[in-house]
Amino acid sequence: MALAGRVLAIDPGSKRVGVALSDPGGVLATPLLTLPAEPAATLVDRLLAVAASHQAVELVVGLPRRLDGSSGPAAHTASRLAADLRAQSGLPVKLVDERLTSVIAERALLANGRKRDRRKDLSDRVAAAVILQGHLDSRRRQE
């Protein structure tokens, strides 16, 4: 059964972390913001502050698997981030396969005529929205 309320999605990266937010009904994902990944020691606190300010009831973290489905260093980092978020927030935290979401986000921004410098700023949060929308759609299909 799905929780009622906003879901916050996180697209972790080594330089930037994209964040997206659902509407209160958990139907539509919207790109929200991009945070610097550094300093890593404060990332969980910064993400939880964003979640609290938007009354998020669930967190979704993108799991960057390789195309063959295996896990590399980035997937292990995302898994640690999810575990830290779960431990510090008490909120449900789901890991969601994010393969190709950055490519989808980049193509969508190109199709909308975004300039290169603006695409770089938007790409991470749009990727987070792609991750979140996939999660929301999947959750609705299971209900």
pLDDT tens for each residue of 50-84 = 999 999 999 999 998 766 767 778 889 999 999 99
Instruction: Quickly list H helices, the chain.
Output: 43-53, 73-89, 101-111, 116-142
Q: What is the total count of domains within the chain?
A: 1
Assigned domain for 53 exists: yes
Q: Could you tell me if residue 18 is inside a domain?
A: yes
Tell me what pLDDT residue 1 has: 47
Residues 108-142 pLDDT 10s: 655 666 555 555 667 789 889 999 999 999 888 88
In a domain, 39, yes or no: yes
Q: Which domain, by its residues, includes 11?
A: 6-142
Residue of 85, 53, 62, 50 whose CA lies nearest to 132: 62
Sign of CA dihedral 87, 42, 50, 11: negative
Q: Is 1 inside a domain boundary?
A: no
Tens-place pLDDT, residues 18-50: 999 999 999 999 999 999 999 999 999 999 999
To the question of pTM greater than 0.95 for the whole model, the response is no
The domain spanning residue 50 has which CATH number?
A: 3.30.420.140
C-alpha 27/C-alpha 133 separation (Å) is: 8
Closest CA to 75 of 95, 55, 59: 95
65 within some domain: yes
d(CA 80, CA 102): 21
